[in-house]
Amino acid sequence: MKYYIKSCILTLDELKDLCDEWKKILGLQNWDIIILLCNYEELDQIKGSCSWQIKNRHAVIRILDPKFYISEYYPFDMEQVLVHELLHCFWGILDDHKVDSIDDDIHEQNIDLLSIALVGLKREKYKEE
């Protein structure tokens, strides 16, 4: 099986539906999660961000609106970005206790690799059915 990122452009409604699906997969059903589409400036030049409150189980996930995506060399997979940000909720307790920027980089890389793998596994499963 190959797991790679491919372009997957979604509407806000499609993202919300996928969010509900992934919340079940990740055991985050009791979380209140708001999804917003944003421009590059609002996201500080990244594809997505998440702010969360562990105690309240509340999160706001911001994903780059595809009309602002400018790279022709790298695909933009909005589902993978969504799963990446949901994993921050899943691992939020760890995120809240990170020590330094090296931990940040390693943690981000691990979340990114895990989100790529999870989305790839889901797509392979549906491809087989």
Break the chain into its structural domains and give their ranges: 12-128
Tokens of 32: 């209140």
pTM of the model: 0.87
More confident residue, 127 or 109: 109
More confident residue, 123 or 4: 123
* CA 84 from centre of chain: 3
Q: How far apart are CA 37 and CA 59, in angstroms?
A: 14
CATH entry 3.40.50 includes domain 12-128? no
Confidence of residue 1 (pLDDT cuts 50, 70, 90): very low
Integer angstrom CA distances of residue 18 from 40, 72, 92, 126: 22, 25, 20, 14
More confident residue, 77 or 104: 77
Confidence of residue 92 (pLDDT cuts 50, 70, 90): confident
Question: Tell me: the pLDDT tens digits for 15-67?
Answer: 999 999 999 999 999 999 999 999 988 998 889 999 999 899 999 999 999 99
